[in-house]
Structure 1
Amino acid sequence: MRHRAFMLLPFAAFALAGCERDIDIELDNVEPKLVVEATIENGEAPVVILTRSLNYFSTLSLDQVLNNFVHGAAIDISTGTRTHRLKEYTFAVGPYNLSYYSTDSSNLATAITGTLNTSYNLRIETEGRIYTATTTIPNITKRIDSMWWRPNPRDSSEGKVQLMIRTTDPRGYGDYGRYWTRKNEEEFRPGRNSVFDDLVVDGTTYEIPVSPGVERGDQRVGWEERVFRRGDTITLKLANIDKATFDFWRTMEYTYSTVGNPFSSPIKVLSNVKPDALGYFGGYASQYRTLIVPE
Protein backbone atom coordinates (compact mmCIF):
# COMPACT_ATOMS: atom_id res chain seq x y z
CA MET A 1 0.00 0.00 0.00
CA ARG A 2 1.45 3.30 -1.04
CA HIS A 3 1.05 6.00 1.60
CA ARG A 4 -1.37 8.64 0.40
CA ALA A 5 -1.63 12.14 1.76
CA PHE A 6 -4.73 13.16 3.69
CA MET A 7 -6.57 15.69 1.57
CA LEU A 8 -8.45 18.69 2.92
CA LEU A 9 -10.48 20.85 0.57
CA PRO A 10 -10.40 24.35 2.03
CA PHE A 11 -12.72 27.07 0.81
CA ALA A 12 -11.91 30.74 0.36
CA ALA A 13 -13.46 33.37 2.60
CA PHE A 14 -12.88 37.07 2.92
CA ALA A 15 -14.15 40.08 4.87
CA LEU A 16 -14.42 43.70 3.82
CA ALA A 17 -13.95 46.67 6.08
CA GLY A 18 -14.94 50.24 5.19
CA CYS A 19 -13.40 53.42 6.42
CA GLU A 20 -16.57 54.71 8.05
CA ARG A 21 -18.19 51.60 9.43
CA ASP A 22 -17.42 47.97 10.08
CA ILE A 23 -19.09 45.26 8.06
CA ASP A 24 -19.75 42.00 9.89
CA ILE A 25 -20.42 38.88 7.86
CA GLU A 26 -22.07 35.98 9.63
CA LEU A 27 -21.04 32.64 8.13
CA ASP A 28 -23.41 29.68 8.20
CA ASN A 29 -22.46 26.68 10.29
CA VAL A 30 -22.17 24.13 7.47
CA GLU A 31 -22.57 20.44 8.19
CA PRO A 32 -19.48 18.34 7.39
CA LYS A 33 -19.41 16.84 3.90
CA LEU A 34 -17.94 13.59 2.70
CA VAL A 35 -14.46 14.02 1.18
CA VAL A 36 -13.53 11.35 -1.38
CA GLU A 37 -10.04 10.63 -2.70
CA ALA A 38 -10.48 7.67 -5.03
CA THR A 39 -8.07 6.53 -7.75
CA ILE A 40 -7.55 3.62 -10.10
CA GLU A 41 -4.43 3.22 -12.25
CA ASN A 42 -3.56 0.79 -15.02
CA GLY A 43 -2.17 -2.39 -13.47
CA GLU A 44 -3.16 -1.32 -9.95
CA ALA A 45 -6.02 -1.96 -7.52
CA PRO A 46 -8.48 0.84 -6.74
CA VAL A 47 -7.79 2.88 -3.59
CA VAL A 48 -10.44 4.97 -1.82
CA ILE A 49 -9.85 7.27 1.15
CA LEU A 50 -12.90 8.73 2.91
CA THR A 51 -12.83 11.61 5.37
CA ARG A 52 -15.13 14.42 6.46
CA SER A 53 -14.66 18.11 5.78
CA LEU A 54 -13.72 20.42 8.64
CA ASN A 55 -15.11 23.80 9.51
CA TYR A 56 -13.04 26.62 7.98
CA PHE A 57 -12.49 28.19 11.39
CA SER A 58 -11.82 24.92 13.22
CA THR A 59 -8.72 24.67 15.37
CA LEU A 60 -6.82 22.04 13.44
CA SER A 61 -4.90 19.36 15.32
CA LEU A 62 -3.31 16.10 14.23
CA ASP A 63 -5.70 14.09 16.39
CA GLN A 64 -8.66 15.86 14.81
CA VAL A 65 -7.42 15.03 11.32
CA LEU A 66 -6.74 11.38 12.17
CA ASN A 67 -10.16 10.99 13.77
CA ASN A 68 -11.77 12.31 10.61
CA PHE A 69 -11.59 9.08 8.60
CA VAL A 70 -14.93 7.55 7.64
CA HIS A 71 -15.15 3.90 8.70
CA GLY A 72 -17.59 1.13 7.81
CA ALA A 73 -18.64 2.44 4.40
CA ALA A 74 -19.98 0.06 1.75
CA ILE A 75 -18.01 0.80 -1.42
CA ASP A 76 -18.53 -0.96 -4.77
CA ILE A 77 -16.50 -0.48 -7.93
CA SER A 78 -17.88 -1.70 -11.24
CA THR A 79 -16.91 -1.97 -14.90
CA GLY A 80 -20.51 -2.56 -15.93
CA THR A 81 -19.96 -6.31 -16.25
CA ARG A 82 -18.17 -6.95 -12.96
CA THR A 83 -18.72 -5.45 -9.50
CA HIS A 84 -16.39 -5.74 -6.51
CA ARG A 85 -17.04 -4.72 -2.90
CA LEU A 86 -13.95 -3.00 -1.46
CA LYS A 87 -12.61 -3.80 1.99
CA GLU A 88 -11.46 -1.36 4.64
CA TYR A 89 -7.84 -1.64 5.76
CA THR A 90 -5.98 0.07 8.59
CA PHE A 91 -2.23 0.58 8.82
CA ALA A 92 -0.05 2.22 11.44
CA VAL A 93 2.20 5.22 10.86
CA GLY A 94 4.08 5.57 14.12
CA PRO A 95 1.51 5.80 16.92
CA TYR A 96 -1.32 6.68 14.52
CA ASN A 97 -3.72 4.56 12.46
CA LEU A 98 -4.77 5.50 8.92
CA SER A 99 -7.47 3.78 6.90
CA TYR A 100 -8.33 3.20 3.24
CA TYR A 101 -10.50 0.91 1.11
CA SER A 102 -9.17 -1.38 -1.62
CA THR A 103 -9.50 -4.85 -3.13
CA ASP A 104 -10.93 -7.48 -0.78
CA SER A 105 -8.20 -10.12 -0.77
CA SER A 106 -10.69 -12.74 0.41
CA ASN A 107 -12.81 -12.30 -2.73
CA LEU A 108 -10.37 -12.12 -5.62
CA ALA A 109 -12.82 -13.75 -8.04
CA THR A 110 -14.49 -10.36 -8.61
CA ALA A 111 -11.41 -8.18 -8.03
CA ILE A 112 -10.88 -5.29 -10.47
CA THR A 113 -7.50 -4.09 -11.68
CA GLY A 114 -7.07 -0.89 -13.66
CA THR A 115 -7.09 -1.42 -17.43
CA LEU A 116 -6.45 1.05 -20.25
CA ASN A 117 -9.44 2.41 -22.16
CA THR A 118 -11.92 1.27 -19.49
CA SER A 119 -14.60 3.15 -17.55
CA TYR A 120 -15.38 2.55 -13.87
CA ASN A 121 -18.35 3.35 -11.65
CA LEU A 122 -17.95 3.98 -7.94
CA ARG A 123 -20.78 3.67 -5.41
CA ILE A 124 -20.33 4.70 -1.78
CA GLU A 125 -22.93 4.13 0.91
CA THR A 126 -22.22 5.64 4.30
CA GLU A 127 -24.25 7.12 7.13
CA GLY A 128 -27.50 6.50 5.26
CA ARG A 129 -26.46 8.30 2.06
CA ILE A 130 -25.35 7.10 -1.37
CA TYR A 131 -22.69 8.81 -3.52
CA THR A 132 -21.67 7.90 -7.05
CA ALA A 133 -18.90 8.79 -9.49
CA THR A 134 -17.55 7.65 -12.85
CA THR A 135 -14.06 7.85 -14.31
CA THR A 136 -12.12 6.45 -17.25
CA ILE A 137 -8.57 5.19 -17.59
CA PRO A 138 -7.84 6.42 -21.13
CA ASN A 139 -5.27 5.04 -23.52
CA ILE A 140 -1.66 6.19 -23.22
CA THR A 141 -1.66 8.66 -26.09
CA LYS A 142 0.87 11.26 -24.91
CA ARG A 143 4.13 9.34 -24.66
CA ILE A 144 7.59 10.22 -23.39
CA ASP A 145 9.83 9.99 -26.48
CA SER A 146 13.07 10.71 -24.59
CA MET A 147 14.31 12.13 -21.30
CA TRP A 148 17.66 13.76 -20.46
CA TRP A 149 19.29 16.29 -18.15
CA ARG A 150 21.20 19.48 -18.78
CA PRO A 151 23.05 21.96 -16.54
CA ASN A 152 20.67 24.38 -14.92
CA PRO A 153 20.52 27.25 -17.44
CA ARG A 154 20.21 29.89 -14.73
CA ASP A 155 22.51 28.51 -12.06
CA SER A 156 24.60 25.34 -12.45
CA SER A 157 26.39 25.84 -9.13
CA GLU A 158 26.11 23.14 -6.46
CA GLY A 159 25.52 20.60 -9.23
CA LYS A 160 22.04 21.84 -10.11
CA VAL A 161 20.53 20.29 -13.25
CA GLN A 162 17.27 20.52 -15.15
CA LEU A 163 15.17 17.57 -16.30
CA MET A 164 14.07 17.71 -19.94
CA ILE A 165 11.68 15.54 -21.94
CA ARG A 166 10.62 15.27 -25.55
CA THR A 167 7.01 14.18 -26.01
CA THR A 168 4.53 13.86 -28.84
CA ASP A 169 0.89 14.87 -28.59
CA PRO A 170 -1.47 13.02 -30.97
CA ARG A 171 -3.69 14.96 -33.34
CA GLY A 172 -7.10 15.82 -31.98
CA TYR A 173 -7.92 17.92 -28.93
CA GLY A 174 -8.84 16.33 -25.62
CA ASP A 175 -5.60 14.77 -24.36
CA TYR A 176 -5.20 15.60 -20.66
CA GLY A 177 -2.29 14.64 -18.43
CA ARG A 178 -0.81 14.79 -14.95
CA TYR A 179 2.77 14.20 -13.79
CA TRP A 180 4.78 13.31 -10.68
CA THR A 181 8.51 13.02 -10.02
CA ARG A 182 10.53 11.00 -7.53
CA LYS A 183 14.09 11.75 -6.47
CA ASN A 184 16.12 8.77 -5.28
CA GLU A 185 14.09 6.84 -2.70
CA GLU A 186 11.60 9.59 -1.94
CA GLU A 187 7.88 9.29 -2.64
CA PHE A 188 6.33 10.39 -5.90
CA ARG A 189 5.19 14.01 -5.62
CA PRO A 190 3.00 15.90 -8.12
CA GLY A 191 4.25 19.08 -9.74
CA ARG A 192 3.12 22.39 -8.29
CA ASN A 193 1.04 22.71 -11.47
CA SER A 194 0.74 19.04 -12.27
CA VAL A 195 -2.04 18.91 -14.89
CA PHE A 196 -2.08 20.11 -18.48
CA ASP A 197 -4.12 19.93 -21.68
CA ASP A 198 -3.22 20.04 -25.37
CA LEU A 199 -4.84 23.27 -26.52
CA VAL A 200 -1.47 24.75 -27.55
CA VAL A 201 0.55 21.63 -28.39
CA ASP A 202 -2.04 19.49 -30.17
CA GLY A 203 -0.47 17.27 -32.83
CA THR A 204 3.11 18.41 -32.19
CA THR A 205 6.38 17.01 -30.87
CA TYR A 206 8.01 19.35 -28.37
CA GLU A 207 10.68 19.61 -25.68
CA ILE A 208 9.90 20.94 -22.22
CA PRO A 209 11.62 21.20 -18.81
CA VAL A 210 10.00 19.25 -15.98
CA SER A 211 9.93 20.77 -12.51
CA PRO A 212 10.38 18.49 -9.48
CA GLY A 213 7.23 17.50 -7.64
CA VAL A 214 6.59 19.28 -4.35
CA GLU A 215 4.92 18.66 -1.03
CA ARG A 216 1.68 20.58 -0.73
CA GLY A 217 2.18 23.40 1.73
CA ASP A 218 5.88 23.67 0.88
CA GLN A 219 6.73 27.36 1.22
CA ARG A 220 9.70 27.31 -1.17
CA VAL A 221 9.11 29.44 -4.21
CA GLY A 222 11.02 30.46 -7.32
CA TRP A 223 13.76 28.73 -9.26
CA GLU A 224 15.20 26.75 -6.35
CA GLU A 225 12.30 24.29 -6.37
CA ARG A 226 12.63 23.72 -10.13
CA VAL A 227 15.90 21.82 -10.19
CA PHE A 228 17.42 18.43 -9.56
CA ARG A 229 21.07 17.81 -8.68
CA ARG A 230 23.95 15.71 -9.90
CA GLY A 231 23.81 12.24 -8.40
CA ASP A 232 20.00 12.15 -8.33
CA THR A 233 18.08 9.16 -9.65
CA ILE A 234 14.99 10.75 -11.17
CA THR A 235 11.79 8.87 -11.98
CA LEU A 236 9.08 10.60 -13.97
CA LYS A 237 5.49 9.37 -13.85
CA LEU A 238 3.28 10.72 -16.62
CA ALA A 239 -0.40 9.79 -16.83
CA ASN A 240 -3.16 10.42 -19.31
CA ILE A 241 -6.36 11.38 -17.49
CA ASP A 242 -9.95 12.17 -18.41
CA LYS A 243 -11.41 15.69 -18.38
CA ALA A 244 -13.16 15.33 -15.01
CA THR A 245 -9.87 14.41 -13.31
CA PHE A 246 -8.15 17.30 -15.13
CA ASP A 247 -10.85 19.75 -14.02
CA PHE A 248 -10.62 18.63 -10.40
CA TRP A 249 -6.84 19.09 -10.18
CA ARG A 250 -6.87 22.28 -12.29
CA THR A 251 -9.27 23.94 -9.85
CA MET A 252 -7.74 22.31 -6.76
CA GLU A 253 -4.23 23.47 -7.59
CA TYR A 254 -5.52 26.97 -8.25
CA THR A 255 -6.90 27.08 -4.71
CA TYR A 256 -3.53 25.90 -3.35
CA SER A 257 -1.78 28.78 -5.14
CA THR A 258 -4.22 31.45 -3.96
CA VAL A 259 -4.51 30.62 -0.27
CA GLY A 260 -3.93 33.83 1.67
CA ASN A 261 -4.14 36.06 -1.43
CA PRO A 262 -7.02 38.56 -0.95
CA PHE A 263 -6.76 39.71 -4.59
CA SER A 264 -7.22 36.30 -6.21
CA SER A 265 -10.43 35.37 -7.99
CA PRO A 266 -12.68 32.89 -6.20
CA ILE A 267 -13.01 29.47 -7.81
CA LYS A 268 -15.08 26.37 -7.12
CA VAL A 269 -13.23 23.07 -6.90
CA LEU A 270 -14.95 20.79 -9.43
CA SER A 271 -15.85 17.38 -8.02
CA ASN A 272 -17.21 14.44 -10.02
CA VAL A 273 -18.67 12.73 -6.93
CA LYS A 274 -22.44 13.20 -6.73
CA PRO A 275 -24.63 14.44 -5.27
CA ASP A 276 -22.70 16.83 -3.01
CA ALA A 277 -19.43 15.24 -1.86
CA LEU A 278 -16.04 16.90 -2.09
CA GLY A 279 -13.01 15.33 -3.78
CA TYR A 280 -12.87 13.14 -6.87
CA PHE A 281 -12.68 9.69 -8.45
CA GLY A 282 -9.86 9.65 -10.99
CA GLY A 283 -8.42 7.15 -13.46
CA TYR A 284 -4.75 7.25 -14.50
CA ALA A 285 -3.10 5.72 -17.58
CA SER A 286 0.46 5.87 -16.28
CA GLN A 287 3.93 5.38 -17.75
CA TYR A 288 7.31 5.64 -15.99
CA ARG A 289 10.81 6.66 -17.06
CA THR A 290 13.98 6.71 -14.92
CA LEU A 291 17.16 8.73 -15.43
CA ILE A 292 20.38 8.59 -13.40
CA VAL A 293 22.24 11.89 -13.35
CA PRO A 294 26.00 11.22 -12.93
CA GLU A 295 27.89 12.80 -10.08
Structure 2
Amino acid sequence: MRKAYFTLVFLTVTGAACEKEINVDLQRTEDMLVVEGIIEQGAFPMVRISRSLNYFSKITPQQLLESFVHDANVTVSNGARTHRLREYSTDTTGGVALYFYTIDTADLQTAFLGEAGKSYTLRIEAEGKVLHSITTIPEPRLTLDTMWWKNAGGDDTGRARILVKVTDPPERGNYVRYFTSRNKERFLPGLNSVFDDQVVNGTSFDVPLDPGVDKNRSIDFDDYGFFSKGDTVTLKFCNIDHNTYDFWRTADFAYTSTGNPFASPTRILGNVTGALGYWGGYSITYRTITIPK
Protein backbone atom coordinates (compact mmCIF):
# COMPACT_ATOMS: atom_id res chain seq x y z
CA MET A 1 0.00 0.00 0.00
CA ARG A 2 1.42 3.39 -0.98
CA LYS A 3 0.85 6.67 0.76
CA ALA A 4 -0.20 9.64 -1.37
CA TYR A 5 1.34 12.90 -0.18
CA PHE A 6 -0.66 15.19 -2.43
CA THR A 7 -3.00 15.18 -5.39
CA LEU A 8 -2.54 17.75 -8.13
CA VAL A 9 -4.74 18.10 -11.20
CA PHE A 10 -3.52 20.14 -14.16
CA LEU A 11 -6.18 21.65 -16.39
CA THR A 12 -4.86 22.81 -19.77
CA VAL A 13 -6.96 25.54 -21.33
CA THR A 14 -6.45 26.34 -24.99
CA GLY A 15 -7.10 29.93 -25.89
CA ALA A 16 -4.76 32.89 -25.54
CA ALA A 17 -1.15 31.91 -26.06
CA CYS A 18 0.14 32.38 -22.52
CA GLU A 19 1.89 30.16 -20.00
CA LYS A 20 2.49 30.47 -16.29
CA GLU A 21 5.13 28.51 -14.44
CA ILE A 22 3.85 26.87 -11.26
CA ASN A 23 6.24 25.77 -8.53
CA VAL A 24 4.97 23.38 -5.87
CA ASP A 25 6.82 22.96 -2.60
CA LEU A 26 6.46 19.29 -1.67
CA GLN A 27 6.40 18.77 2.07
CA ARG A 28 7.62 15.43 3.35
CA THR A 29 5.06 13.76 5.58
CA GLU A 30 5.94 11.42 8.42
CA ASP A 31 5.73 7.74 7.53
CA MET A 32 2.77 5.92 9.04
CA LEU A 33 2.15 2.34 10.04
CA VAL A 34 0.07 0.30 7.60
CA VAL A 35 -2.07 -2.61 8.80
CA GLU A 36 -3.70 -5.32 6.70
CA GLY A 37 -5.57 -7.73 8.95
CA ILE A 38 -8.19 -10.37 8.17
CA ILE A 39 -10.11 -12.99 10.07
CA GLU A 40 -12.20 -15.40 8.02
CA GLN A 41 -14.92 -17.77 9.12
CA GLY A 42 -13.25 -21.07 10.00
CA ALA A 43 -9.72 -19.64 9.86
CA PHE A 44 -7.17 -18.05 12.18
CA PRO A 45 -6.50 -14.29 12.11
CA MET A 46 -3.62 -12.97 10.01
CA VAL A 47 -2.09 -9.49 10.24
CA ARG A 48 0.60 -7.74 8.21
CA ILE A 49 2.24 -4.55 9.52
CA SER A 50 4.47 -2.28 7.48
CA ARG A 51 5.49 1.35 7.09
CA SER A 52 4.09 3.58 4.37
CA LEU A 53 6.32 4.36 1.40
CA ASN A 54 6.75 7.68 -0.37
CA TYR A 55 4.30 7.95 -3.26
CA PHE A 56 7.04 9.10 -5.65
CA SER A 57 9.74 6.68 -4.55
CA LYS A 58 10.92 3.85 -6.80
CA ILE A 59 9.84 0.76 -4.91
CA THR A 60 12.44 -2.01 -4.86
CA PRO A 61 12.35 -5.48 -3.29
CA GLN A 62 14.78 -4.22 -0.66
CA GLN A 63 12.47 -1.31 0.23
CA LEU A 64 9.55 -3.69 0.58
CA LEU A 65 11.58 -5.96 2.80
CA GLU A 66 12.64 -3.06 5.01
CA SER A 67 9.08 -1.73 5.28
CA PHE A 68 7.84 -4.67 7.38
CA VAL A 69 7.46 -4.02 11.10
CA HIS A 70 8.93 -6.72 13.32
CA ASP A 71 8.58 -7.66 17.00
CA ALA A 72 5.18 -6.02 17.40
CA ASN A 73 2.86 -7.04 20.22
CA VAL A 74 -0.29 -8.12 18.35
CA THR A 75 -3.36 -9.53 20.10
CA VAL A 76 -6.80 -10.52 18.85
CA SER A 77 -9.80 -11.00 21.14
CA ASN A 78 -13.21 -12.55 20.50
CA GLY A 79 -14.59 -11.29 23.80
CA ALA A 80 -13.99 -14.58 25.60
CA ARG A 81 -10.35 -15.25 24.67
CA THR A 82 -7.38 -13.05 23.87
CA HIS A 83 -4.56 -14.57 21.85
CA ARG A 84 -1.15 -13.03 21.17
CA LEU A 85 -0.09 -13.55 17.56
CA ARG A 86 3.38 -14.63 16.54
CA GLU A 87 5.48 -13.33 13.66
CA TYR A 88 6.32 -15.64 10.75
CA SER A 89 7.81 -15.21 7.28
CA THR A 90 7.26 -16.84 3.93
CA ASP A 91 9.11 -16.59 0.62
CA THR A 92 7.31 -15.47 -2.54
CA THR A 93 7.93 -16.64 -6.08
CA GLY A 94 9.80 -13.38 -6.65
CA GLY A 95 12.28 -14.20 -3.91
CA VAL A 96 10.97 -11.50 -1.54
CA ALA A 97 10.17 -12.54 2.02
CA LEU A 98 6.76 -11.55 3.40
CA TYR A 99 6.27 -11.16 7.15
CA PHE A 100 2.96 -11.65 8.92
CA TYR A 101 1.48 -12.36 12.34
CA THR A 102 -0.87 -15.25 13.06
CA ILE A 103 -1.57 -17.74 15.85
CA ASP A 104 1.29 -18.88 18.05
CA THR A 105 1.46 -22.63 17.44
CA ALA A 106 3.41 -23.00 20.68
CA ASP A 107 0.47 -21.61 22.68
CA LEU A 108 -2.81 -22.92 21.28
CA GLN A 109 -4.81 -22.75 24.52
CA THR A 110 -6.11 -19.26 23.74
CA ALA A 111 -6.20 -19.59 19.93
CA PHE A 112 -9.55 -19.51 18.11
CA LEU A 113 -11.08 -19.63 14.65
CA GLY A 114 -13.31 -16.97 13.15
CA GLU A 115 -17.06 -17.48 13.56
CA ALA A 116 -19.95 -15.78 11.79
CA GLY A 117 -21.91 -13.39 13.98
CA LYS A 118 -19.01 -12.53 16.29
CA SER A 119 -16.88 -9.39 16.69
CA TYR A 120 -13.09 -9.33 17.00
CA THR A 121 -10.81 -6.71 18.52
CA LEU A 122 -7.30 -6.17 17.16
CA ARG A 123 -4.67 -4.42 19.30
CA ILE A 124 -1.14 -3.65 18.14
CA GLU A 125 1.80 -2.18 20.05
CA ALA A 126 4.57 -1.25 17.64
CA GLU A 127 7.29 1.40 17.47
CA GLY A 128 5.91 3.26 20.47
CA LYS A 129 2.35 3.39 19.11
CA VAL A 130 -0.84 1.60 20.15
CA LEU A 131 -3.28 0.75 17.36
CA HIS A 132 -6.67 -0.84 17.65
CA SER A 133 -9.67 -1.82 15.55
CA ILE A 134 -12.87 -3.86 15.74
CA THR A 135 -14.46 -5.92 12.98
CA THR A 136 -17.35 -8.35 12.69
CA ILE A 137 -17.74 -11.54 10.70
CA PRO A 138 -21.37 -11.04 9.65
CA GLU A 139 -23.94 -13.75 9.18
CA PRO A 140 -24.18 -14.71 5.47
CA ARG A 141 -27.31 -12.66 4.78
CA LEU A 142 -26.58 -11.94 1.13
CA THR A 143 -26.79 -15.50 -0.20
CA LEU A 144 -25.34 -17.03 -3.34
CA ASP A 145 -28.07 -19.09 -5.07
CA THR A 146 -26.86 -20.32 -8.44
CA MET A 147 -23.92 -19.91 -10.80
CA TRP A 148 -23.89 -20.58 -14.55
CA TRP A 149 -22.08 -19.69 -17.76
CA LYS A 150 -23.02 -18.54 -21.25
CA ASN A 151 -21.16 -18.10 -24.52
CA ALA A 152 -19.40 -14.81 -25.11
CA GLY A 153 -21.52 -14.32 -28.22
CA GLY A 154 -20.87 -13.63 -31.87
CA ASP A 155 -17.95 -15.44 -33.45
CA ASP A 156 -16.12 -15.73 -30.14
CA THR A 157 -16.25 -19.48 -29.49
CA GLY A 158 -13.33 -19.70 -27.06
CA ARG A 159 -14.59 -17.44 -24.29
CA ALA A 160 -17.54 -17.35 -21.91
CA ARG A 161 -19.20 -15.17 -19.29
CA ILE A 162 -20.20 -16.38 -15.82
CA LEU A 163 -23.30 -15.13 -14.02
CA VAL A 164 -24.60 -15.63 -10.49
CA LYS A 165 -27.97 -15.23 -8.82
CA VAL A 166 -27.86 -13.54 -5.39
CA THR A 167 -30.67 -13.07 -2.86
CA ASP A 168 -30.74 -10.16 -0.43
CA PRO A 169 -32.88 -10.18 2.74
CA PRO A 170 -35.43 -7.45 3.61
CA GLU A 171 -33.05 -5.89 6.17
CA ARG A 172 -30.83 -3.20 4.71
CA GLY A 173 -27.10 -2.88 5.25
CA ASN A 174 -25.56 -6.00 3.70
CA TYR A 175 -22.19 -5.97 1.97
CA VAL A 176 -20.16 -8.42 -0.14
CA ARG A 177 -16.62 -8.76 -1.42
CA TYR A 178 -15.71 -11.44 -3.97
CA PHE A 179 -12.67 -13.26 -5.35
CA THR A 180 -12.24 -15.78 -8.17
CA SER A 181 -9.75 -18.56 -8.79
CA ARG A 182 -9.11 -20.14 -12.19
CA ASN A 183 -7.92 -23.73 -12.41
CA LYS A 184 -6.87 -23.89 -8.74
CA GLU A 185 -4.67 -20.79 -8.98
CA ARG A 186 -4.70 -18.22 -6.17
CA PHE A 187 -7.83 -16.22 -5.43
CA LEU A 188 -7.83 -12.69 -6.86
CA PRO A 189 -10.31 -9.90 -6.03
CA GLY A 190 -12.50 -8.32 -8.67
CA LEU A 191 -11.47 -5.01 -10.22
CA ASN A 192 -14.45 -3.58 -8.34
CA SER A 193 -14.60 -6.24 -5.67
CA VAL A 194 -17.39 -5.01 -3.37
CA PHE A 195 -21.08 -4.20 -3.63
CA ASP A 196 -23.93 -3.40 -1.26
CA ASP A 197 -27.71 -3.85 -1.22
CA GLN A 198 -28.70 -0.21 -1.47
CA VAL A 199 -30.42 -0.71 -4.85
CA VAL A 200 -31.26 -4.43 -4.70
CA ASN A 201 -32.49 -4.63 -1.10
CA GLY A 202 -34.94 -7.49 -0.51
CA THR A 203 -34.68 -8.92 -4.04
CA SER A 204 -33.09 -11.78 -5.97
CA PHE A 205 -30.99 -10.56 -8.88
CA ASP A 206 -28.60 -11.80 -11.55
CA VAL A 207 -25.19 -10.23 -11.91
CA PRO A 208 -22.26 -10.99 -14.27
CA LEU A 209 -19.14 -12.26 -12.53
CA ASP A 210 -15.96 -10.62 -13.77
CA PRO A 211 -12.70 -12.52 -13.20
CA GLY A 212 -10.49 -11.41 -10.35
CA VAL A 213 -7.38 -9.46 -11.36
CA ASP A 214 -3.80 -9.10 -10.18
CA LYS A 215 -3.60 -5.36 -9.56
CA ASN A 216 0.20 -5.46 -9.66
CA ARG A 217 0.00 -6.16 -13.40
CA SER A 218 -1.48 -4.31 -16.33
CA ILE A 219 -5.02 -5.30 -17.30
CA ASP A 220 -6.03 -6.15 -20.87
CA PHE A 221 -9.49 -4.59 -21.05
CA ASP A 222 -10.15 -6.20 -24.45
CA ASP A 223 -10.11 -9.54 -22.65
CA TYR A 224 -11.46 -8.37 -19.29
CA GLY A 225 -14.72 -9.90 -18.08
CA PHE A 226 -14.32 -13.21 -19.88
CA PHE A 227 -13.30 -16.71 -18.88
CA SER A 228 -11.93 -19.31 -21.29
CA LYS A 229 -13.70 -22.47 -22.36
CA GLY A 230 -12.27 -25.31 -20.27
CA ASP A 231 -11.69 -23.15 -17.18
CA THR A 232 -12.67 -24.41 -13.75
CA VAL A 233 -13.69 -21.32 -11.79
CA THR A 234 -14.17 -21.07 -8.03
CA LEU A 235 -15.98 -18.09 -6.56
CA LYS A 236 -15.16 -16.92 -3.03
CA PHE A 237 -18.25 -14.95 -2.00
CA CYS A 238 -17.74 -13.04 1.27
CA ASN A 239 -20.25 -11.20 3.45
CA ILE A 240 -18.40 -8.32 5.13
CA ASP A 241 -19.24 -5.50 7.54
CA HIS A 242 -19.68 -1.85 6.62
CA ASN A 243 -16.15 -0.73 7.57
CA THR A 244 -14.54 -3.45 5.47
CA TYR A 245 -16.82 -2.51 2.58
CA ASP A 246 -15.88 1.18 2.89
CA PHE A 247 -12.17 0.37 2.86
CA TRP A 248 -12.31 -1.73 -0.30
CA ARG A 249 -14.86 0.51 -2.02
CA THR A 250 -12.53 3.49 -1.71
CA ALA A 251 -9.38 1.44 -2.41
CA ASP A 252 -10.89 -0.03 -5.60
CA PHE A 253 -11.98 3.42 -6.75
CA ALA A 254 -8.52 4.85 -6.09
CA TYR A 255 -6.98 2.05 -8.16
CA THR A 256 -9.33 2.41 -11.14
CA SER A 257 -8.97 6.21 -11.22
CA THR A 258 -5.14 6.19 -11.14
CA GLY A 259 -3.83 8.22 -14.05
CA ASN A 260 -7.14 9.98 -14.67
CA PRO A 261 -6.50 13.73 -14.25
CA PHE A 262 -10.24 14.42 -13.98
CA ALA A 263 -10.98 11.88 -11.22
CA SER A 264 -11.95 13.16 -7.80
CA PRO A 265 -9.27 12.83 -5.09
CA THR A 266 -10.02 9.75 -2.98
CA ARG A 267 -9.31 9.23 0.70
CA ILE A 268 -9.18 5.53 1.47
CA LEU A 269 -11.35 4.88 4.52
CA GLY A 270 -9.43 2.63 6.89
CA ASN A 271 -10.74 1.41 10.25
CA VAL A 272 -7.51 1.10 12.28
CA THR A 273 -7.14 3.91 14.81
CA GLY A 274 -3.66 5.45 14.57
CA ALA A 275 -2.65 3.79 11.28
CA LEU A 276 -3.51 3.30 7.63
CA GLY A 277 -5.22 0.10 6.50
CA TYR A 278 -7.98 -2.13 7.75
CA TRP A 279 -8.99 -5.05 9.96
CA GLY A 280 -11.76 -7.03 8.29
CA GLY A 281 -13.92 -10.07 8.93
CA TYR A 282 -15.18 -12.38 6.16
CA SER A 283 -18.08 -14.87 6.16
CA ILE A 284 -17.35 -17.10 3.16
CA THR A 285 -19.30 -19.20 0.67
CA TYR A 286 -17.53 -21.10 -2.12
CA ARG A 287 -19.03 -22.17 -5.44
CA THR A 288 -17.24 -23.90 -8.35
CA ILE A 289 -18.18 -24.32 -12.01
CA THR A 290 -16.38 -25.89 -14.97
CA ILE A 291 -16.95 -24.36 -18.40
CA PRO A 292 -16.82 -27.14 -21.01
CA LYS A 293 -14.60 -26.69 -24.06
User: Which category describes the TM-score, using the shorter chain as reference length?
Assistant: over 0.9
Q: Which runs of 5+ in 1 are unaligned?
A: 1-6
Q: Give the length in aligned residue pairs.
A: 287
Look up the match of 2:66: 67
Q: Write out aligned runs for 1:46-85 (5 A).
A: 46-85=45-84
- Partners of 1:139 and 1:146 in 2: CA distance: 19
Look up the match of 1:8: 2
Look up the match of 2:168: 169
Residues 240 and 285, structure 1, Cα contact 8 Å, conserved in 2: yes
**1:118-157 residue CA offsets vs partner (Å, 9 max, x unmatched):** 000000000111000010000011111111111014x552
Cα offset for 1:31? 1.3
Cα offset for 1:15? 5.7
Task: Give the secondary structure class of the aligned counterpart of 1:190.
Answer: strand
Cα offset for 1:222? 3.1
Residues 76 and 82, structure 2, Cα contact 8 Å, conserved in 1: yes
Residues 77 and 120, structure 2, Cα contact 8 Å, conserved in 1: yes
Task: Give the secondary structure class of the aligned counterpart of 2:67.
Answer: coil
1:219 aligns with 2:218: yes
**1:224-245 residue CA offsets vs partner (Å, 9 max, x unmatched):** 1101111100000101100000
Residues 116 and 139, structure 1, Cα contact 8 Å, conserved in 2: yes
User: Normalization by structure 2: what TM-score?
Assistant: 0.93
Look up the match of 2:126: 126
Residues 135 and 280, structure 2, Cα contact 8 Å, conserved in 1: yes
- Partners of 1:206 and 1:72 in 2: CA distance: 47
**1:182-217 residue CA offsets vs partner (Å, 9 max, x unmatched):** 000211000000000001110001111100000114
Look up the match of 2:40: 41
Cα offset for 1:61? 1.3
CA RMSD of aligned residues (A): 1.6
User: Normalization by structure 1: what TM-score?
Assistant: 0.93
Look up the match of 2:196: 197
Aligned pair in 2 of structure 1 residues 163, 214: CA closer, same or farther (>3 Å)? same
Cα offset for 1:56? 1.7
- Partners of 1:174 and 1:59 in 2: CA distance: 40
- Partners of 1:194 and 1:259 in 2: CA distance: 17
Look up the match of 1:243: 242
Aligned pair in 2 of structure 1 residues 17, 179: CA closer, same or farther (>3 Å)? closer
Cα offset for 1:92? 2.1
- Partners of 2:127 and 2:140 in 1: CA distance: 38
Q: Which runs of 5+ in 2 are unaligned?
A: 13-17
Residues 233 and 288, structure 2, Cα contact 8 Å, conserved in 1: yes
Look up the match of 1:140: 140
- Partners of 1:11 and 1:232 in 2: CA distance: 42
Task: Give the secondary structure class of the aligned counterpart of 1:66.
Answer: helix
- Partners of 1:35 and 1:237 in 2: CA distance: 25
Residues 164 and 206, structure 2, Cα contact 8 Å, conserved in 1: yes
Look up the match of 2:15: none
Residues 183 and 233, structure 1, Cα contact 8 Å, conserved in 2: yes
Aligned pair in 2 of structure 1 residues 266, 99: CA closer, same or farther (>3 Å)? same
Residues 175 and 241, structure 2, Cα contact 8 Å, conserved in 1: yes
